[in-house]
Amino acid sequence: MIPRAQRGATTIEMTLVGIPLIFMLISTFEISRGMWMYNTAATAVREGVRFATVHGVNCVRLAPGVPNSCEVTANDIVKVIRAGAGNAVTNSQGTSLNYGPTGAGAAGLDEVNTLVTFTSLSGSFSCKLDGTSTGSCALRWPPDGDNGIKKSITISIKTPFSSALSMFWPGSTPVSFAVVNLWASSSDTVQF
């Protein structure tokens, strides 16, 4: 039998240990989720840059009478970034290998608020990850003059990351989620 003076001591001890333990557990999940989102976005941007580097000057200026259907728009590159270039790969035996979703959409990125920025020698412009952007996003990229072999191109992605950790911050309003922007960028030169 527990003496009367010690009743409830276990509850208090569990509370004093449990609150920091729960905070550490949620922190681990949130940091892991942020790292997963960043890594997926960085991989997707790398796939987008690789896709763009093989659609350079030789996809635009071919000899007369040589058909060509390989020029791409910025929105086409955004689709590769969103879906991932490695979704369906065929090996040398002709067997399709599905590596699952590798694009930025796989990480649950907010497609409406995520911006993909295209930079070449002519300047830069941004498109939304949802692929609905018009204007420069609907034009061929890399543009004429910037699509020559060995010309440098860069694609960057900026996505908001909402973390539940801020609700533990002293003085925060109830159920307030902090938003931090995650950035990833990749550069390469046009191959052909």
Res. 75: pLDDT tops 80: yes
Average pLDDT over residues 74-102: 64
What was the pLDDT predicted at 93?
55
- pLDDT level of residue 89 (50, 70, 90 thresholds): very low
pTM of the model: 0.78
Residue 122 tokens read as: 């002519």
Give dist(CA 51, CA 131) in Å, integer: 16
Per-residue model confidence (pLDDT) at position 190 = 92
pLDDT digits (tens, 9 = 90+) for 122-157: 999 999 988 888 899 999 899 888 888 899 999 999
Tokens describing residue 123:
């300047």
Whether pLDDT at 167 is above 70: no
pLDDT given for residue 169 in this prediction = 63
Average predicted confidence (pLDDT) for the chain = 80
Q: What is the mean pLDDT of residues 83-111?
A: 58
pLDDT tens, 5-55?
677 788 888 889 998 898 889 889 988 988 988 988 898 899 899 889 988
**Exposed e or buried b per residue across 24-53, where buried means at least 16 C-beta atoms within 10 angstroms of its C-beta:** eeeeeebeebbeebbebbbbbbbbbbebbb
